[in-house]
């Protein structure tokens, strides 16, 4: 049974143990997450220059919208100031910055009826994040820029946390993924990436059964194992869903091979070598 928890334990080791066991933490905003969300929304407003950023798809043509959002994605992913702010946010939640490494912030943009766009198809593939050559101790940090109801977040398939899902994760090799630069890591820097790049997915026709969702306030924080089988929910709320996420690894757990169970991950390569490490001041 999937358990949602709302309070960060006093001991970070307890938090990590719970997440590796399949628990999902949905916690209130902290100072760091509120700053991340505030800065991101200010950047989006500045670059999109529309009255309502959640309805920007109605104001801008597809190419203009894609190009401007791509610029924001690159900044959030590469800028050292956002690396430091993410590290401080993790510290506020009990993670030791000296023992953590992360794959930086990604801006996620889910447009109404986006699942009907063939170029965006991989966004909606049910998957495990570990299928992208991350270690089994991967923890995903996720925060929305606006209050979201259950149907606006993402679906988790709890029955398959530690059960095999038929998939083609063996097609993913990290070195191949980055051979032409960081664009695929940053996400959606080229409009045709969704139709040309290799994205692991479950077997066609596989039906995972019941899914579980959750609601989350703006700047609320979700900590979930990267091994959870999950999927972005298609939505037609007429508003864009903006969120931020990052991938976290505790270096001691990685060295000791501690983490969530590996039911079916056959991806190859070592993405951890390119994670960001920031020493506490």
Greater confidence, 177 or 157? 157
More confident residue, 14 or 209: 14
The tens digit of pLDDT for each residue in 176-215 reads: 988 877 666 675 454 554 445 788 999 999 999 999 999 9
User: Which whole number is the average pLDDT over 63-82?
Assistant: 92
For residues 45 and 80, is the Cβ–Cβ distance under 8 A?
A: no
Closest CA to 139 of 242, 13, 232: 13
Mean pLDDT of all residues belonging to the chain: 91
What's phi and psi for 174, nearest 5 deg? -60, -40
Residue 227's domain comprises: 4-274
For residues 196 and 32, which has the higher predicted lDDT (pLDDT)?
A: 32
Q: What is the CATH number of the domain that holds 164?
A: 2.60.120
Tens digit of each residue's pLDDT (9 = 90 or more) over 218-241: 999 999 999 999 999 888 888 999
Give φ, ψ of 185 to 5 degrees: -65, -45
* Average pLDDT score over residue span 161-172: 96
pLDDT for 31 beyond 90: yes
> What is residue 177's predicted lDDT score, i.e. its pLDDT?
87
Determine the pLDDT at residue 188.
Answer: 47
pTM above 0.85, yes or no: yes
Assigned domain for 133 exists? yes
Any domain includes 20: yes
| In contact, 238 and 217? CB cutoff 8 Å | no
How far is it, in rounded angstroms, from Cα 192 to Cα 204?
Answer: 22
232, β-bridge pairs: 154
- The answer to whether the CB of 261 falls within 8 A of the CB of 227 is yes
pLDDT at 124 over 60: yes
Flag whether 211 is in a domain: yes
Residue 72 lies in a domain: yes
Determine what percent of the chain is predicted with pLDDT higher than 90.
Answer: 78
**What is the spatial distance between Cα 138 and Cα 135, in angstroms, rounded to a whole number?**
6
Burial of residue 207 (CB within 10 Å: 0-12, 13-18, 19+) is exposed
279 within some domain: no
| 225 within a domain of the structure (yes/no) | yes
In contact, 226 and 189? CB cutoff 8 Å: no
Which is higher by pLDDT, 121 or 219? 219
Bridge partners, residue 250, by sequence: 100
Determine which helix (DSSP H) or strand (DSSP E) holds 223, and give its type and residue range: strand 221-225
For residue 197, is it within any domain?
A: yes
Number of structural domains the chain divides into: 1
For residue 224, tell me if it sits in a domain.
yes
Q: Is the pLDDT of residue 92 over 80?
A: yes
Choice among 50-54, 113-117, 207-211, 236-240 with the minimum mean pLDDT = 113-117
């Amino acid at each position: 049974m999937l358990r949602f928890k709302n309070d960060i334990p006093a001991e970070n080791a307890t938090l990590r143990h719970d997440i590796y066991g399949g628990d999902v933490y949905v916690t209130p905003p902290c100072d760091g997450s509120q700053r991340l969300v505030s800065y991101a929304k200010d950047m989006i407003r500045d670059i999109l220059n529309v009255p309502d950023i959640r309805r920007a798809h109605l104001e801008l043509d597809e190419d203009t919208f894609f190009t401007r959002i791509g610029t924001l994605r690159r900044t959030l992913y590469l800028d050292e100031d956002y690396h430091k702010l993410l590290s401080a946010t993790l510290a506020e939640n009990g993670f030791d910055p000296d023992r953590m490494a992360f794959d930086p912030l990604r801006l996620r943009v889910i447009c109404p009826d986006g699942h009907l766009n063939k170029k965006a198809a991989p966004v909606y593939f049910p998957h495990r994040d570990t299928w992208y050559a991350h270690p089994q101790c991967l923890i995903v940090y996720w925060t929305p820029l606006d209050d979201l109801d259950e149907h606006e977040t993402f679906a988790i398939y709890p029955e398959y946390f530690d059960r095999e899902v038929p998939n083609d994760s063996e097609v993913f090799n990290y070195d191949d993924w980055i051979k032409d630069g960081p664009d695929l890591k940053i996400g959606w820097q080229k409009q045709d990436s969704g139709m040309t790049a290799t994205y692991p997915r479950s077997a066609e026709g596989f039906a995972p059964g019941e899914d579980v969702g959750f609601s989350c306030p703006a700047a609320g924080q979700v900590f979930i194992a990267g091994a959870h089988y999950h999927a972005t929910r298609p939505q037609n709320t007429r508003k864009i869903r903006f969120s931020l996420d990052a991938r976290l690894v505790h270096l001691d757990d990685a060295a000791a091979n501690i983490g969530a169970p590996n039911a079916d991950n056959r991806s190859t390569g070592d993405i951890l070598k390119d994670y960001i490490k920031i020493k506490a001041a």
